[in-house]
């Protein structure tokens, strides 16, 4: 199919996010954290746009007043940067 002289691009119906955590080295394993995990999420694009994105934005606006913060696990666990407020147990429990 052509659109104004260009072929129509056929995109898939899904979006996939993949992330890893832990030590991916097989030659020098960290004895204090000998864990490696690989996780992924698969969304139908329509559900991602209409459900997941608005829910995540609402969560970020509720806790940070904006949606620019990156929810990075190590910052959350160590209560660094924008997650400094998690030092208070009652707030931390609600956040988590």
Instruction: Tell me the per-residue pLDDT of 6-24, one tens digit each, with 9 for 90 and over.
Output: 777 789 999 999 988 877 7
Strands (E) located in 4-87: 6-7, 14-22, 36-44
Burial 27-66 (b: 16+ CB within 10 A, else e): eeeeeeeeeeeeeeeebeeeebeeeeeeeeeeebeebeee
Q: How confident is the model at residue 25 (pLDDT cuts 50, 70, 90)?
A: confident
CA dist., res. 22 & res. 74, Å (int): 11
Q: What are the pLDDT digits (tens) for 31-75?
A: 877 888 899 999 999 999 999 999 999 999 999 999 999 998 889
pTM above 0.75, yes or no: no
Task: Say if residue 1's pLDDT is above 70.
Answer: no
């Amino acid at each position: 199919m052509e659109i104004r002289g260009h072929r129509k691009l056929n995109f898939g119906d899904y979006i996939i996010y993949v992330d890893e955590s832990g030590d991916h080295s097989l030659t020098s394993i960290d004895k204090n954290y000998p864990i490696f995990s690989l996780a992924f999420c698969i969304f139908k694009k329509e559900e991602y746009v209409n459900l997941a994105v608005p829910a995540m934005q609402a969560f970020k606006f509720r806790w940070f007043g904006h949606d620019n913060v990156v929810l990075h696990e190590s910052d959350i666990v160590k209560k660094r940067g924008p997650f400094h407020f998690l030092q208070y147990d009652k707030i931390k429990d609600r956040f988590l």
